[in-house]
Amino acid sequence: MNFHVVQGEALTASDLEGRESVTTVEGQELQIGSENGTLTVGGVPVSQSDVEASNGVAHVIGGVLIPESFPRRVSYDLAAQSNSGAISSGVEGTVTFWEYNDSQTLVTLSLDNGPTGASVSHPAHIHNEGDGEIAIYLSPLDGTNRNEANDGTSARLVDRSFDTLAGFNGYVNIHESVENLGNIVAQGDIGSNATGTLGAGLSLVDNPTTNTKELTAQPNNGDFSNGVPGQLRLRELTADQTLVTVRLDPDGDGEFGDGATQATVSHPAHIHGSGGGIQDYLSPVDGTDPRARSSQIVPNSVLNSDGIYVNVHESAANLQYVVSQGDVGSSSGGGGGY
């Protein structure tokens, strides 16, 4: 790609300082500016200028230039937090904002060493810097079972633009569990409070297909003895990935996103194969999340398997109680947000 190349003239740093912008071979306009006395190109600081090259002059910059027509991403480190809980040393991780469309951003979480091995799910939120209140619920991370089916990640499509989140005045917390929210295991500043790592975003498919499948309430002997109805939403993401969203309907009124399950646990969810084994871990649903949903990015190869179904459980401690269940596969329904 040539969106970092200016053709026809060898521009030195002093030449650039006298301009507001330059036009690249790709036809994109790169803004020229200054930040704390340092020359910037496309908003990225120049770390080494006027490097002689065989085809002109090169300038080394401290980031990635991404044309406006390309989706973007920005990642922030989450530092391990010492605490008095079961994961006393905390864990390290990463939160990434992926540009999805003009009004939505895909937020993913990952733990550096995969699942923690704890018998709980780890809720996560974006908090306001000023008052510390939860601004956005993220999808929890399933801490159980370090295996190939559980990669210690989660995803959430939030109703904020990429630029809004990239400039958000706040931070991300990952907690030990819903029951023990006071024990923070990972934390990191985001947006206007931190310098993130910018990069190219996902190669999203055009006009993605969205399918809906009902999850039926399953009577059981647990705390949710009548089960909890829900829906499974499958939206094409890239050529080989799908965003799978579990949406629960605790009051059974057919409306989704109108209340939490009011449980002090998260509800694990899995994709099961025809033989009953877990093929992929979905993100658990936080029992305190007002929208009662979670998402995960899943390979299409998993969804294309025969005889697969989804189980949503009461909790990591009570996996024997299935509260919601539904088949995966061809389904009716379409469009709409998450």
Structural domain spans, the chain: 13-61, 72-200, 210-327
Are 269 and 285 a contacting pair, CB within 8 Å?
A: yes
- The predicted pLDDT at position 28 comes to 64
- The predicted pLDDT at position 308 comes to 94
Alpha-carbon dihedral sign for residues 37, 39, 41, 46: negative
The CATH label, of 2.30.180.10, 3.40.1010.20, 2.60.40.1890, 3.40.50.720, for the domain at 13-61 is: 2.30.180.10
Closest CA to 218 of 206, 204, 208, 230: 230
Block residue for tokens 């044309």: 67
> Any residues with CB less than 8 A from the CB of 266 and at least 6 apart, and which?
120, 121, 123, 140, 177, 178, 284, 285, 286, 287, 315, 316
Block residue for tokens 């509800």: 267
Pairing of strands 241-248, 197-200: unpaired
Are 72-200 and 210-327 the same fold in CATH? Answer: yes
- The predicted pLDDT at position 4 comes to 60
Residue 114 CB neighbour total at 10 angstroms: 17
Rounded distance between C-alpha atoms, residue 148 and residue 202, angstroms: 23
Full-model pTM: 0.80
Rounded distance between C-alpha atoms, residue 114 and residue 150, angstroms: 8
The one-digit pLDDT tens for each residue of the chain (338 residues) are: 445 666 666 777 777 777 777 776 555 677 788 877 788 877 777 777 767 776 777 766 655 555 555 688 999 999 999 999 999 999 999 999 999 999 999 999 999 999 999 999 999 999 999 999 999 999 999 999 888 889 999 999 999 999 999 999 999 999 999 999 999 999 999 998 898 888 888 999 999 999 999 999 999 999 999 999 999 999 999 999 999 999 999 999 999 888 999 999 999 999 999 889 999 999 999 999 999 999 999 999 888 888 899 999 999 999 999 999 999 964 433 333 33
- The predicted pLDDT at position 335 comes to 36
Residue 165 φ/ψ, nearest 5 degrees: -70, -40
Give the CATH fold of the 210-327 domain: Immunoglobulin-like (2.60.40)
The CATH label, of 3.40.50.720, 2.60.40.200, 2.60.40.10, 3.30.365.10, for the domain at 72-200 is: 2.60.40.200
- The predicted pLDDT at position 70 comes to 61
Rounded distance between C-alpha atoms, residue 283 and residue 110, angstroms: 12
> Any residues with CB less than 8 A from the CB of 174 and at least 6 apart, and which?
78, 91, 93, 109, 122, 123, 124, 141, 184, 185, 186, 187
